[in-house]
Amino acid sequence: LRDERAELNRAGLPPAELLSGNYASRAVSPAEDICCSDRRIHDGEHKAALPGKLIRSEGDPATGIADADTAYDAAGQVFSMYAEEYGRNSLDGEGMPLIATVHHRRDYNNAFWNGDQMAYGTGDGKIFQTFLELSVIGHEMSHGVIQFSGGLIYENQSGALNESIADVFGSLALQRALAQEAHEADWLVGKGILGPGIKGVALRSMKAPGTAYADDLLGQDPQPWHMDGFVSTSDDNGGVHINSGIPNHAFYLFCNYLGGKAWEVPGRIWYRALQTLNNPMASFSDWADQTMDAAIELTGRGSIESVMLRRAWKLVGIAI
């Protein structure tokens, strides 16, 4: 990858960082109009009812309940990324409250967006030990964003795109919070959330889909990184959490080819593609085209970004 960049530089093209800088300076993000988040954290008290008991509203001091305070802080970080990087005012773009429930049900091994709010289980302490991790929280909140922009139907390829875009922005929220550069990021989603007995590092890896865990209880991480490994199944809404490995890896490659801060130019391109998507049944190939259109709109035809983006999609088996 480094060689490829050196080659481009020999061809007299400016390095990606310069283009990124140029892009940032002509970015149109009406961030000044966006005031502030409206977070509302509830305690589900290990019951199934949502949203449960309100324990921390925007501006309230910390509760001392670690899960609630993590949910509050992380929701703020995700809100800030969407506001400051992409000019979006909350999940719906219109400042909707960020409603979250921690301690959802008992020993519950999942987290989700239900169309109105986020909910987080505690995990059973065996398979999962927490869901209150920034990439996971960013993932669930991004399902909210996708509901209001793009509206990707949650099955088959459009569902895997919905999953992938949630992973992308979850990972970007984490990378931005850590102020890591793309080449230093681990590209893991849900690092550290697996239980102590589970052999694995995370829930998913965008850098190396299929390698996040391999465990007697959980099995092997089923994600492919290339269309040759595409899994046709009726489970999991048509493999939405499986085949998302393919667009996830394309995004990773794109960021890795460019270098720099992934939440800036690559994130803006993905965000623009989502914002302009008008096909809720989009296939991987449709989405690849959509990201290319966004890249050309934002960085110009023949830009390094558009060249690298085409290369990334090609490497995972999608020609555009």
Active site residues: 140, 241
* Closest distance of CB 64 from ligand ASN, Å: 27
Among Zn ion, ligand ASN, none, partner that 111 touches (CB below 5 to 8 angstroms by kind): ligand ASN
Q: Given the rule CB under 5 A, which of 46-54, 103-111, 145-153, 161-169 is the region that contacts Zn ion?
A: 161-169
Nearer to ligand ASN, 43 or 140 (CB): 140
* Closest distance of CB 109 from ligand ASN, Å: 9
Cβ-proximal residue to ligand ASN, closest one: 112
Check binding of 166 to Zn ion (CB under 5 A): yes
Nearer to Zn ion, 81 or 309 (CB): 81
Nearer to ligand ASN, 110 or 147 (CB): 110
Binder of ligand ASN out of 112, 231, 279, 315 (CB under 6 A): 112
Q: Quickly list DSSP for the chain.
A: -HHHHHHHHHTTPPPHHHHHHHHHHT----GGG-----EEEEE-TTSS-SS-EEEEETTPPP-S-HHHHHHHHHHHHHHHIIIIIH---STTSS---EEEEES-SSS---EEE-SS-EEE----SSSBS----HHHHHHHHHHHHHHHTT---SSHHHHHHHHHHHHHHHHHHHHHHHT--TTT---EESTT-B-TTS-BS-SEESSSTT-SBEETTTEE----SSGGG----SSHHHHHHHHTHHHHHHHHHHHHHH-S-TTTHHHHHHHHHHHH---TT--HHHHHHHHHHHHHHHH-TT-HHHHHHHHHHHHTT---
What character string, x for contact with ligand ASN (CB under 6 A) and - otherwise, covers 129-148? ----------xx--x-----
- Residues lying near ligand ASN in the complex (CB under 6 A) are found at 110-112, 139-140, 143, 163
